[in-house]
Chain A
């Protein structure tokens, strides 16, 4: 039986422009890219293709020199048109001109009954060779899972509590079969349980509720209840030396398809949402696909910020950028590069704030949808401990002390205060509410990198 965990701390940002439950039509994406920067714990990507090569979905594009088993494969079939490098020949991205109809390399196909007798080694080899392995993320550190580790459990967060997040019961509809197969394969990789976590007040898709062989846990409460790190903390916390893997439902389904059909299927349903999108709705596209066709004739104005992912943890990619590997949505908000006369004191009901300082009246209309832009609303300052971080972190972790320990590069202190339990997204709300405008997520990543490379 799964657990039921009630969370109270946190904050739901109710952004305007939620995606309507319907599909939009858009052109097939012209290009798809795979960017090493979408992954953590990758040290030296070695490119295995040349510009002009024809690839199929599942063809290796590059691998990690430090761990050659980890292979990054093409999401779609087509021609490699660009291998983009930055300073010191650092690999930025590999770009593929996508075919209209995607062909995949064929991998071993299994029936549901065969899956039961599949060995861990065979399953792992197929996952690694196909590149589907990349869906597995290892905690601590939030890096691509190390195939030599055996995690004590695997976590799937089956709801997204971020602002404007896609509705999982819609985007994964009809994938019961594949999800179940994915879970069956995952169970071979862990010494413990596979946990599937749902929100008690949201509609639970049969994809998750009918799954067998996994623990179904329920959570309630505001964001970050959907962050898998928070869920791990309450169900099977990570202590020093522990390894836990996480994977999103898309990854589980992709694994299911890999073993049941023998293909790499990188097609996914994503939400295109935000106040500046003319029609917020869902689109079918591919991992790493260009967002250009999705935004064509679909923007209310030109001065916008296009974000791959959500507004708390996403990356600004520009109007012609590409979807990040793990992202399941595009958010479009107004750019906020304007001055505001006496903006630091004028009262407003429109400016969203978690806090209620003088003139910040948004708490009067909680629950109302708001439009937020990218303005920082103030300058960076020294820490002033107002106790607000503690109100948005539903874990037994002291965020202020942890962040300070990271800034001081105090390894023992970071470890003792629980850095193994968090990655950027778990503390993203701290960055949002911070009075002193610290780049909290960047700080957390720097701390993780320090420990991971120690």
Chain B
């Protein structure tokens, strides 16, 4: 250990002002502070002691909260793969197939983002920010398992560049970086990220008879034109080739269904939510209000229902698609969410409302959470504006009484 420290200390002067590699100071700093927490001490004035938390730890906590989703996602990718091919497979096989699909995506996402971060750190002279640790993991979790790796690379570069660095880096961005990556792919290369792409089927492989890769949301949306009862359609899905009801409420909650790598399981998202809540790393107010908003909107649509999708029981909305994942990991992004405590309630609630609205009324977008969060990212400062104004008004009123 001592050796490592000595090497770092010896190399330091090269990166300091006037050193050979001064340009790369922040790259050195990133490595140095990753290996050792710094030896800086409090200034002469001000607080003399500091809380043990730092941004690295905060971000790592969020990553830890995501790991249940990631692990479950790996298994599920394998599970869906064998289900579609109509083969029996052991747990080990499922994990292996899952890993083969998921790991490259994670690596590409981290590499692409890391390169952009490092380049900007060198040229813009700002520290390499830990925020990317989270983004780099979020991006793979919202990708279909079969996504071409070059698309992951391009999307990540686009998102980090346009959604983050263009605004000044972590802490300054308006839009959620991971969702920007997904939205970019959605609009630039729609064939690879919409339709029936949610199950990993290798080229040339023969799927089981009767197989369909439609997602629950697609099936529910279909009932608008085809009629029938959405719940019956859902629970009847998969009969003959998968187990009896692939899209039963319970199965959708557990998450053994096709979908993006990490977002299928509401259960795993709730475990993540619990970790975020217990560690205070994510706003529980946002999580609760997104679910609340979606449920309330679902109930309202039930009351006004003129087609089967509108009549879909409100609680189905909570377990279908990416609502849970978005609520727990995307909406709670501390930088792009509303920043006032009252604002967070409004922000989350509206995300829920818009998600369900987009799902039910916009046939072009079967899933609404992505666009709902991006939309509310843009409106978050407006929500805060009103909350802050209320605070100012209280102060002014006090003066005149």
Contact = CB atoms under 8 A, between A and B. Distances in A.
Interface of A: 13, 237, 239-241, 305, 307, 311-316, 331, 333, 335-345, 348, 351-360, 362, 372-379, 381-388, 390, 396-398, 400-401, 416-418, 424, 428, 431-437, 439-442
B88 interface: no
A221 B280 CA distance: 21
Contact of A342 (B35, B45, B278): B35
Contact of A384 (B43, B61, B334): B334
B127 interface: yes
The 3 A-B residue pairs with the shortest CB-CB distance, nearest first, are: A378-B54, A382-B171, A343-B37
Nearest to B126: A382
Interface string B305-330: 00000000000000000000000000
Contacts of B33: 344, 379
A386 B41 CA distance: 23
Interface stretch (B69-77, B94-102, B215-223, B388-396): B388-396
B38 A376 contact: yes
Interface stretch (B146-154, B227-235, B335-343): B335-343
A305 B388 CA distance: 40
Contacts of B392: 416-417
Given A13-B49, A355-B53, A384 B58 contact: yes
B225 interface: no
A239 B340 CA distance: 23
B37 A377 contact: yes
Contacts of A338: 39
Contacts of B44: 315-316
Given A356-B279, A385-B334, A387-B341, A316 B37 contact: no
Contact of B171 (A316, A351, A384): A384
Contacts of B398: 237, 239
Contact of B38 (A305, A311, A339, A416): A339
B388 A382 contact: no
B56 interface: yes
B46 A357 contact: no
22 contacts: A314-B48, A315-B44, A316-B45, A337-B40, A341-B35, A342-B35, A344-B33, A345-B57, A352-B52, A353-B51, A353-B53, A355-B280, A358-B60, A376-B41, A378-B38, A378-B57, A379-B33, A396-B391, A396-B394, A431-B47, A432-B51, A442-B45
Nearest to A381: B55
A164 B384 CA distance: 38
A360 B388 contact: no
Interface size class of B (residues with CB under 8 A): 35 or more
B14 interface: no
A376 B278 CA distance: 24
Given A377-B54, A398-B388, A417-B392, A390 B341 contact: yes
Nearest to A314: B48
Contact of A377 (B51, B61, B131, B391): B51
Contacts of B131: 384
B20 interface: no
Contacts of B55: 378, 381, 384, 435-436
B41 A375 contact: yes
A161 to B, nearest CB: 15
Given A360-B53, A435-B54, A312 B280 contact: no
Contact of A240 (B47, B53, B384, B399): B399
B1 A341 contact: yes
Given A387-B341, A435-B58, A436-B55, A376 B50 contact: yes
Interface in B139-183: 168-172
Nearest to B30: A379
B50 A437 contact: yes
A8 B393 CA distance: 24
Contacts of A377: 37, 50-54
B283 interface: yes
A434 to B, nearest CB: 7
